Structure 1
Amino acid sequence: MKLNLFIMFLVAAVALAFRMPPVTKKPNIILILADDMGYSDIGCFGSEIKTPNLDNMARNGLRMTGFYNASRCCPTRASLLTGLFQHQAGVGDMVNARNQPAYQGYLNDQCVTIAEVLQQSGYQTYMAGKWHVGTRPQHWPVKRGFDRYFGLIDGAGSYFGDQPYRPNQKLSIIQDDKVYQPGKDYYATNAYTDHALEFIEQNPKDKPFFLYLAYTAPHWPLHALPEDIAKYKTAYRKGWDKLREERFARMKAMGILPKDTQLSPRDPSIPAWEALPAAEKADWEDKMAVYAAMIDRMDQNIGRVRQKLKELGEDQNTVILFLSDNGASHEDIDGSGFLPSILEDSQKPASDRSSFTAYGKRGANLSNTPFRLYKHWEFEGGTATPFVAYGPSVVQGGRIDHRPGHIVDVMTTCVELAGATYPQTYKGKSILPAEGISLVSLFRGKPWQGHDALYFEHEGNRAIRQGDWKLVSEFPDNQWHLYNLKTDRSELTDLAAKDPGRVRQLEAKYSQWAQRIGVIPFAELTGK
């Protein structure tokens, strides 16, 4: 009798086990970062540039219109990777070494990278693309939690190889921890993706992966493939004035911008398009065709990644996040530190493979529609980024969310997605608490509290956003300006004189934050 009862119990237990849902693998996470790409430079944020893969992700995922970066390449990368403000991670300015810990120029040992955290939670960790948060071998990606790496350690370079552009410069294209010599058919955007696909293909079937895919596109120099440039040969003949208006109209029609948003005036240093000589028009059209082609090729490669996920059966269990490291770049290739040969090459047409040029303010003003100013400043044109989140198992699709988010949120988001634990110590060192708030609830369409305030500082440029209010200044003027972003996202009407009490309140909050995270006034830091 007892034996029969045992057998019956065993049969029931087995039956119950077979009815239980299978244990699912943790989601793969892909973080894609564009370089120097403006707010309106992809189709799903208003651009004329063809980005069908990103547009599809946006249509079936989430667009956040109020997401922010740190307004410059390496500070953003330091903050994005660590979930701290860049000063806390040791990259308060650029990667040039300084004695002050917050400005040492590489990731310190008081922070952990997303890769280091997820590695401890069973993830394989991969990176392809631009590093730019530590140039010495002891600071490279494989020393900061990445199992495999391929890409550019430095901040910029030719897309066709490893050509130096400054005196005494050696650019480092690295595979894992060894120097890689590019071949004659090398094109950086394709090469980063080739290695990323290799990493994904070789990933153990029973292990989730984290991939950080940091494209250099569309950072200068303007280098693209002829077949991509050809698509945009006539796309910019209307000129920057008409194209800004067209982007602006699409952004409002899409719901990226409120209907009552105003388009910022053309940068006062840029002439009206119709007043431009024909040769200058042709030069700009050529530069923009190459710039558009770079973004187009990046989107094609994102499509290759998505196709590989589908082939491997991983597409439904992968979350993809896309954003840019700063606003569009106003920089030109001029006499400040470039090799004479590079300055000569900067005079060639951008579509010439041997050129080395940039599109300057004239292109950046279009890329940052509807905002003013650019990379480096803390006005919206410097620090606002398009943000797309896609993942069928996590992200409730077909939505646009206008609430503000920040790059510090990416670490906490990845930690929650991975079911990981953010450490208090790592390799015997105390780790600073993460500053971000996970976006997973927002992704799922559930209540999300968000931040009390967001803070920004780069080379003396400062800002704080609390709710709809933003207080911002630029160096060396250091004059506070106050905007209500709900009614004035383009920052055109300064309310500081009308609301001095709010200015004082926000300035006090900013000062407390700056002191806490180690900001040194830029004049004091540089002696200028």
Structure 2
Amino acid sequence: MILKLLTAFLVLSLFVSPALQLPAKKPNIIVILADDMGYSDIGSFGSEIKTPHLDEMAKNGLRMAQFYNASRCCPTRASLLTGLFQHQAGVGDMVNCRKQPAYQGYLNQNCVTIAEALKQSGYKTYMAGKWHVGTKPEYWPIKRGFDRYFGLIDGASSYFGNEPYRPNQKLTIALDDQEYKPEKGYYMTNAFADHAVEFVEQHPKDQPFFLYVAFTSPHWPLHALPEDIAKYRGTYAKGWDKLREERYRRMQESGILTKNTKLSPRDPKIPSWETLSAEEKKSWEDNMAVYAAMIDRMDQNIGRIQQKLKETGQDHNTVILFLSDNGASHEDIKPTNFLPAIYESSKKPSSDPSSFTAYGMRGANLSNTPFRQYKHWEYEGGTATPFIAFGPSIVKPGRIDQRPGHIIDIMATCLDLAGGTYPKTYKGNAVTPTEGVSLVPLFRGTTWKGHDALFFEHEGHRAVRQGDWKLVSEFPENRWELYNLKTDRSELQDVSAKEPERVKQLAALYDAWAQRAGVIPFAELGKSKGE
């Protein structure tokens, strides 16, 4: 009888989908980070932009609808890489070097990167893309645990080269630990993927790998390839009001937004579409066509990486995580911040390869549907990111989860997948304990403990979320506002006057965290610039 049951089990196991089986060896891990991309800018989160590869990953994986970043480029990258809040890693603001340890402008020696931690579990480590957490060669990726690197060390650049765009500025593209000069035909998004594909192709098959792909797309300047721009000609002629409504409706129908989530009113600084002149409409349509083309090309290149995984037989044993570093950017190209020639080129149509433009608040308000505010603030429009987890052998498919997660969780998740441990010391230095929790139980659809509270601070903007409640303020007003995100995800009804005790309790939580993390009030720190 026992022999018959064993035989039946072995026969049945032959027909079990690989997606339901545990991986036989440590999985490969790929983290893909978009730059300045809004919450609703990919198809599976409501967009009209064509992102079939990301959409397929979302369909066959997990979407987290309430995942958070740190609202700005450098802080998010520091936090994602280390599993710490950005201040603890030394990048409390941007890459400007200051005497305060939490704001030194590069990763400190009391943190480890995911690459450094995973190497202790036998992983080869690769990175392609934007670094932006230390500009001097001694702070580059090769010095922080990556075996191979290709990408932009700095915050932003022309997609067709690396020309400086601000006074007294030097931009660096690097291959491993050497500066790299772009060749003819260079387009940054393609170049990052070229090297990511090469790393996968050349990787030894008897070892797991970690690959961090940090695209600059769709960060300004708006630079795209003509064949991609052509796909979106006419797409934006209906204007931002109708497009925001259409995205909002799709988000509700798909389950990304709960049924009680309201669409925030159009930003009061933005006029009604119908009041614009024909020339203004044409300019915005051109901006949006190029912006959409940049995201489209990023998705195409994600597809190239996936195809290489299939060709090398590694697709079923690879987990891919996708997210954005902050909400959409309201920034414009201003004469006070940019070289005169760059400012002049910002007046050209975005579809002109010699232009240097941004889509500004008018585009960002659409990208951040249904939220208000943008990159830099701690409202949902600054911190909410589309998050996708995909892995045929690990991630239970076809789900949307509304529980809050955070970039600090990526480190713990990678170590959990690898069966590794977070080090207490590294190269003789004490390592700050990680702040994140592993998402792997959530991937598998089992019990997940989540967070007691999440905290945010950037250049004086502050927030704390505990359960469904979020306390938030903006600098320099520094007045706490309170929102119940279960009933008001778009943060439209401030209930701080009705809930003074809750405000007091959450403010105390924030203050205790700020002291522990090394946050310095921004009025004392002084304003800084950066991407």
User: 1:289 aligns to what?
Assistant: 289
1:336 to partner: Cα distance: 2.5
Give the match for residue 323 of structure 1.
323
- The aligned counterpart of 1:117 is 117
Q: Is the 8 A contact 2:267 2:365 kept in 1?
A: yes
1:139 aligned to 2:139? yes
Trace 1:356-435 onto structure 2 (pairs within 5 A): 356-435=356-435
Distance in structure 1 (CA, Å) of the matches to 2:398 and 2:182? 41
Which residue in the other structure is 1:30 paired with? 30
* Aligned pairs for 1:112-261 within 5 A: 112-261=112-261
CA deviation string 1:99-133 (max 9, x = no partner): 00000000000000000000111100000000000
Q: In structure 2, do the counterparts of structure 1 residues 61 and 22 end up closer, same or farther at CA, with 3 Å as the change threshold?
A: closer
CA displacement at 1:170 relative to structure 2: 1.3
Runs (4+) of structure 1 exceeding 3 A deviation are none
Aligned 8 A contact 2:459 2:527 in 1: no
User: SS state of the match for residue 403, structure 1?
Assistant: coil
Structure 2 counterpart of 1:265 = 265
The equivalent residue for 1:484 is: 484
Deviation at 1:341, TM superposition (A): 0.3
What is the identity, as a one-letter code, of the residue corresponding to 2:445?
G
Contact 1:76–1:86 under 8 Å retained in 2: yes
Q: Please tell me whether residue 449 in structure 1 is matched to residue 449 in structure 2.
A: yes
Q: Which structure's CA Rg is the greater one?
A: 1
Confirm or deny: 8 A CA contact 1:32 1:214 kept in the other structure. yes
Partner of 1:70: 70
Map 1:286-365 to 2 at 5 A. 286-365=286-365
Alpha-carbon distance in structure 2 between the residues aligned to 1:161 and 1:527: 29
Distance in 2 between the 1:337 and 1:382 partners?
A: 22
Q: Report the Cα offset of residue 527 of structure 1.
A: 7.8
Task: Name the residue aligned to 2:53.
Answer: 53
Q: Closer, same or farther in 2 for the Cα pair 1:22/1:398, shift >3 Å? A: closer
Contact 1:25 1:207 in 2 (8 A): no
The residue type paired with residue 277 of structure 2 is: P
Cα contact 1:243–1:366 (8 A) shared by 2 = yes
Separation of aligned partners in 2, 1:23 and 1:254: 30
Do the aligned partners of 1:129 and 1:192 also contact (CA within 8 Å) in 2? yes
Contact 2:23 2:393 in 1 (8 A): no
C-alpha contact 1:67 1:405 (8 A) present in aligned 2: yes
> Alpha carbon RMSD of aligned pairs, Å?
1.2
Q: How big is the shift at 1:22?
A: 12
- Deviation of 1:169 after TM superposition, in Å, equals 1.4
Residue 87 of structure 1 corresponds to which residue in structure 2? 87
Mapped contact 1:396–1:444 kept (Cα < 8 A): yes
C-alpha separation in 2, matches of 1:76 and 1:491? 22
Aligned to 1:230, the other structure's residue is in SS state helix
Which one-letter code corresponds to 2:484 in the other structure? N
Identity of aligned residues (%): 75
- Match of 1:468? 468
SS in 2 for 1:464: strand
**Separation of aligned partners in 2, 1:321 and 1:427:** 29
Residue in 1 aligned with 2:438? Answer: 438
- Contact (CA 8 Å) 1:128, 1:212: kept in 2 or not? yes
Q: Is the 8 A contact 2:77 2:325 kept in 1?
A: yes
CA distance in 1, matches of 2:23, 2:95: 44
**Structure-2 change in CA distance of 1:527 and 1:490 (3 Å):** closer
Separation in 1, partners of 2:414, 2:245: 37
Contact 2:327 2:385 in 1 (8 A): yes
Give the superposition deviation at 1:402.
0.2
Distance 1:22 1:280, change over 3 A: closer
Q: Deviations over 1:309-358 (max 9, x none)?
A: 01111000000000000000000001232000000000000000000000
Shift of 1:364: 0.1
What stretches of structure 1 of length at least 5 have no aligned partner?
A: 1-18
Q: Could you tell me which amino acid in structure 1 is paired with residue 42 of structure 2?
A: I
Amino acid at match of 1:209: F
Q: Which residue of 2 aligns with 1:275?
A: 275
Say if 2:326 and 2:375, in contact at 8 Å, map to a contact too. yes
* Cα drift, residue 261 of structure 1: 1.2
Can you list the C-alpha shifts for 1:356-394, whole angstroms capped at 9, x where unaligned? 000000000000000000000000000000000000111
CA contact (8 A) 2:22 2:393 kept: no
Q: 2:424, 2:384 → 1: CA distance?
A: 31
Is the 8 Å Cα contact of residues 90 and 104 (structure 1) preserved in structure 2? yes
Decide which moves more: 212-221 or 253-262: 253-262
Which residue identity is paired with 2:211? L
Amino acid at match of 1:208: P
Q: Secondary structure at the match of 2:403?
A: strand
Equivalent residue for 1:13? none
Q: Distance in 2 between matches of 1:106 and 1:318?
A: 30
Over 3 Å counting, the alpha-carbon distance change for 1:527 and 1:238 in structure 2 is closer
| Structure 2: tracts of 5 or more residues without a match | 1-12, 14-20
* Kept after mapping to 2: 8 A contact 1:25/1:206: no
Note the C-alpha offset of 1:23.
8.9
Amino acid paired to 1:355: S
1:65–1:256 contact (8 Å) kept in structure 2 = yes
Alpha-carbon separation, structure 2, partners of 1:478 and 1:98:
24
Distance 1:237 1:205, change over 3 A: same
Aligned pairs, number: 509
- Letter of the 1:385 partner, please give it: T
| 8 Å CA contact 1:323, 1:386 repeated in 2 | yes
The letter of the residue matching 1:441 is P
**What is the CA–CA distance in structure 2 between the aligned matches of 1:47 and 1:57, rounded to whole Å?**
15
User: What letter matches 1:56 in structure 2?
Assistant: E
Q: Give distance in 1, aligned partners of 2:451 and 2:83.
A: 14
Measured in 2, the distance between the counterparts of 1:407 and 1:453 equals 14
Report the alpha carbon displacement of residue 526 of structure 1 after superposing the two structures with TM.
1.1
Query: Shift of residue 433 of structure 1?
Result: 0.4
Other-structure match for 1:5: none
Contact 2:67/2:405 (<8 A) preserved: yes
1:12 corresponds to which residue?
Answer: none
Aligned partners of 1:235, 1:286: CA distance in 2, in Å?
Answer: 10
